[in-house]
Amino acid sequence: MKKTILSGSTVTGDLTLGNYIGAIHNWKQLQEKYDCLYFLADLHALTVFQDPKVLRDRTYSFFAQYLALGLDPQKNIIFVQSQVPEHTELSWVLTCLTPMGYLNRMTQFKEKSEKHVKNINAGLYTYPILMAADILLYQADLVPVGEDQRQHLELCRDIVGFFENRYGEGILKMPEAYIGKSGARIMSLQDPEKKMSKSDENEKNFVSIIDDAKKIEKKIKGAATDSGTEIKYDPETKPGLSNLMTIYSVLSGKTTEELEKEYEGKMYGHLKVDLADVVVQTLRPVREKYDDLMKNKDHLDQLMKSGSERARARSRVTLENVYKAVGLVR
Ligand code: TRP
């Protein structure tokens, strides 16, 4: 039996090179060895204000980007969260098991309520419970998540504990974090102390998967580099350069030592020009496939629908077991 892996992206901002290198690139390898589900968390996006048209367009765009990046809708179940109503259904049951004290501790809630002072809604607060439902519906064994989502995964595990205490074991599976091999963490281009974030307001900080060649070149050439001239991988003293070298290394398959040798005696500018080229070459076929997919919305609708139907069939089983266990008449 293959283990089940589940992960998703909130439908906000732009999918970036950081998402590709840190997550989606790894998912592609996982699809061979595991039973994988990947979804777009559009309901989670609603916790901050979304323009309806932008949200709708972005959902198609992210879905097409998943496919263009090489996630295979036959090998994986790829779906849209809101098309599987079981997510919100399970979420309610879990909400009734989660003490407010546990939610109060969530650092992301604290950060987001500072950022969106005018819209501190209850969904922002219960966000991690919906995330727990996403995971538990599919009996996921492993969840690849970034550092910023660790606490939410811990809460999910706590919720399994609350459920088992009250209703017994064997209904929900206890998930674990999946720690990838390289786990490359890509940093912001202008501020390499921060992670490259898809919801960054300053677009100079990230390369989007669907940026054109001109934009990519401009952003890479304009990336902040450190004082000094030597091309040396050292995240402590040269965070900007080291970030660029990490990107270079992952995309080219060369180690950072090999890059240091190759660029001995050369300047930061040389490396930037070559890196921009590597990024452009990597993303060009993705962009082409993306443009193709986006031309045919009906086809995308079809693929979403079939993914969501497969997801529903799986999630329904867990939900029915939960409903029965808690005493709802079926
Ligand atoms: N909260 C995650 C993020 O913003 C997205 C997400 C929602 C998720 N549900 C999930 C990730 C379940 C993993 C598993 O990145």
What the block records as the tokens of 28 is 């592609």
Q: Is the CB of 314 under 6 A from ligand 1?
A: no
Q: Is the CB of 44 under 6 A from ligand 1?
A: yes
Cα 58 to middle of ligand 1, angstroms: 16
What is d(CA 240, CA 40) in angstroms, rounded to the nearest whole number?
31
Residues facing residue 79 across a β-bridge: 39
Query: Can you give the three-state secondary structure of the chain, one letter per residue?
Result: CCCEEEEEEECCCCCEHHHHHHHHHHHHHHHHHCEEEEEEEHHHHCCCCCCHHHHHHHHHHHHHHHHHCCCCCCCCEEEEHHHCCHHHHHHHHHHCCCCHHHHHCCHHHHHHHHHCCCCCCHHHHHHHHHHHHHHHCCCCCEECCCHHHHHHHHHHHHHHHHHHHHHCCCCCCCCEECCCCCCCCCECCCCCCCECCCCCCCHHHCCECCCCHHHHHHHHHCCCCCCCCCCCCCCCCCHHHHHHHHHHHHHHCCCHHHHHHHCCCCCHHHHHHHHHHHHHHHHHHHHHHHHHHHCCHHHHHHHHHHHHHHHHHHHHHHHHHHHHHHCCCC
CB contact burial 310-322 (16+ within 10 A = b; e otherwise)? bbbebbeebbeeb
Q: Is the CB of 134 under 6 A from ligand 1?
A: yes
Question: Is residue 183 scored above 70 in pLDDT?
Answer: no
Enumerate domains of the chain plus CATH numbers: 4-179+297-326 (3.40.50.620), 203-292 (1.10.240.10)
Q: Is the CB of 131 under 6 A from ligand 1?
A: yes
Question: Is residue 182 scored above 70 in pLDDT?
Answer: no
Percent of the chain with pLDDT over 90: 89
CA angle 58, 63, 66 (to 5 degrees): 125
Mean of all residue pLDDT scores within the chain:
95
CB contact burial 140-151 (16+ within 10 A = b; e otherwise)? bbbbbbeeebeb
Q: Is the CB of 36 under 6 A from ligand 1?
A: no
Question: Is residue 50 scored above 60 in pLDDT?
Answer: yes
Percent of the chain with pLDDT over 70: 99
Nearest to 5 by CA among 128, 179, 178: 178
Q: How confident is the model at residue 147 (pLDDT cuts 50, 70, 90)?
A: confident
What pLDDT is stored for residue 193 in this prediction? 92
What pLDDT is stored for residue 326 in this prediction? 98
| pLDDT tens digits for range 15-48 | 999 988 887 888 888 888 999 999 999 999 999 9
| pLDDT tens digits for range 200-244 | 999 999 999 999 999 999 999 999 999 889 999 999 999 999 999
What pLDDT is stored for residue 32 in this prediction? 86
Q: How confident is the model at residue 181 (pLDDT cuts 50, 70, 90)?
A: low
Question: Taking the complete model, does pTM exceed 0.85, yes or no?
Answer: yes
| pLDDT tens digits for range 236-278 | 999 999 999 999 999 999 999 999 999 999 999 999 999 999 9
Task: Using CA atoms of 211, 215, 217, 218 in order, give the dihedral in degrees to the nearest 10.
Answer: -150
Pocket test for ligand 1, best of 4, 6, 10 (most atoms within 8 A of CB): 10
Nearest residue (by CA) to ligand 1, atom 4, is: 10
Question: Is residue 130 scored above 90 in pLDDT?
Answer: yes
Cα 107 to middle of ligand 1, angstroms: 15
Q: How confident is the model at residue 154 (pLDDT cuts 50, 70, 90)?
A: very high
Q: Is the CB of 10 under 6 A from ligand 1?
A: yes
Cα 7 to middle of ligand 1, angstroms: 6
Ligand 1, residue 152: give the atom nearest the CA. 1
What pLDDT is stored for residue 317 in this prediction? 98
Question: Is residue 125 scored above 70 in pLDDT?
Answer: yes
Question: Is residue 1 scored above 90 in pLDDT?
Answer: no
Ligand 1, residue 127: give the atom nearest the CA. 1
Question: Is residue 3 scored above 80 in pLDDT?
Answer: yes
What is d(CA 237, CA 243) in angstroms, rounded to the nearest whole number?
12
CB contact burial 49-63 (16+ within 10 A = b; e otherwise)? eeeeeeeeebbbbbb
Q: Is the CB of 87 under 6 A from ligand 1?
A: no
Question: Is residue 190 scored above 60 in pLDDT?
Answer: yes
Cα 328 to middle of ligand 1, angstroms: 28
- Residue 34's CB is within 10 A of a number of other CB atoms, namely 20
Ligand 1, residue 44: give the atom nearest the CA. 7
Cα 212 to middle of ligand 1, angstroms: 28
Catalytic positions, please? 112, 195, 198
Question: Is residue 62 scored above 80 in pLDDT?
Answer: yes
